[in-house]
Amino acid sequence: MVRGAVGLARRIGMSPLIIGLSVIAIGTSAPELVTTLTATLEGAPDLALGNVVGSNLANMLLILGVAALLRPIACTPKVIRRDGSMVLGATALFVAIAMTGMFVLWHGLILVAALFLYLYLTYRAENANIDNGPTPTTTDDVSGVPDRVMVGVIYLLGGLAGTVIGAKLLVDGGVSVAESFGVSKTIIGLTLVAVGTSLPELAIVIVASLRGHSDVALGNVLGSNIFNLLGITGIVAIVSPLPVPDLLLSFDLWVLLGVTALLLPLMLTGGRLCRWEGGALVFLYAVYLAFQFDSIRSMIS
């Protein structure tokens, strides 16, 4: 789907900057969006919000950690001030609304408006710096982009259909696992579903890191988190109210806020995320998963 969308965007003359900010950012987050929307419409809102929170934790701890293990990630102050601060602000806004116990229509409108404001400010900032010389963009790390329009359309529609079908299977499978073992759908969303929907970000980040585009890897993770919190939650809340599970309110939302706050000073230390810091992030994610699966074991027993 991403390859087809990038190919069509190039054919109509869209700049790499806009493609990176919109087409690829939305494309790699499409599994989260479709899965969250499907779960909500099928009466599993616990799984839906668990997927959003779990995907962001996977992005910051697992994906960013793996990228840093492969190659230290350069963290420019400009990116941290803009995108890092926006991630923290979006997380704080998300947690504040979640504390009301329900995401409703007007909450969704606020979140989507905040996302468009972020995209506009990012475009202006990046466009103002374009004279400083070419810089790697996410488009450099998407291979196999079709040149022909018809092939691009087939890639896009086929990928979109695959995403929708995959989301349906993922939600049905997650609900079945939860019902079979008598565990919370929230936990399934936080773990199995969240990791599954984060795989596109992992693929892009690994390729970017191996090619030395560490700033792209960092930008993709931060941008994906912002889109998950503001775009996905906002769009789904506009379509249907989203009740917040008690499990998220009592534990996981605070883990999300704490990890986000921890990541910012970690990125500013020495101007990069080194390998031992990446290893620490992966270790923290393993601890988090162990805690969740211990909860599952307790529920089953």
Looking at beta carbons, which pairs linking 120-126 to residues 24 or more positions away fall under 8 Å?
Answer: 121/82, 122/21, 122/82, 122/83, 123/17, 123/18, 123/21, 125/78, 125/82, 126/17, 126/21
Burial of 301 (0-12, 13-18, 19+ CB in 10 A): exposed
* pLDDT confidence of residue 215: 63
Q: Does residue 6 lie in a domain region?
A: no
Q: Does residue 22 lie in a domain region?
A: no
Q: Does residue 267 lie in a domain region?
A: yes
Q: What is the CATH number of the domain that holds 125?
A: 1.20.1420.30
Q: Does residue 87 lie in a domain region?
A: yes
Q: Does residue 158 lie in a domain region?
A: no
Return the amino acid letter for 257. L
The residue segments making up the domain with residue 56 are 43-132+170-300
Residue by residue, pLDDT tens for the chain (301 residues) are 777 777 877 787 766 556 665 666 677 777 888 888 888 888 888 888 988 999 999 999 998 898 888 888 877 777 677 778 889 999 999 999 999 999 999 999 999 999 999 888 877 776 666 555 444 455 555 667 788 888 888 888 888 788 778 778 888 888 888 778 777 888 888 888 888 888 777 877 777 777 776 666 677 788 888 989 999 999 999 999 999 999 899 999 999 999 999 888 887 776 778 889 889 999 999 999 888 887 766 766 6
The answer to whether the CB of 266 falls within 8 A of the CB of 35 is no
Quote the number of domains for the chain. Answer: 1
* pLDDT confidence of residue 22: 62
Q: Does residue 18 lie in a domain region?
A: no
* pLDDT confidence of residue 95: 96
* pLDDT confidence of residue 58: 92
Q: Does residue 291 lie in a domain region?
A: yes
Q: Does residue 223 lie in a domain region?
A: yes
The angle subtended at Cα 201 by Cα 199 and Cα 27, nearest 5°, is 100
* pLDDT confidence of residue 18: 61
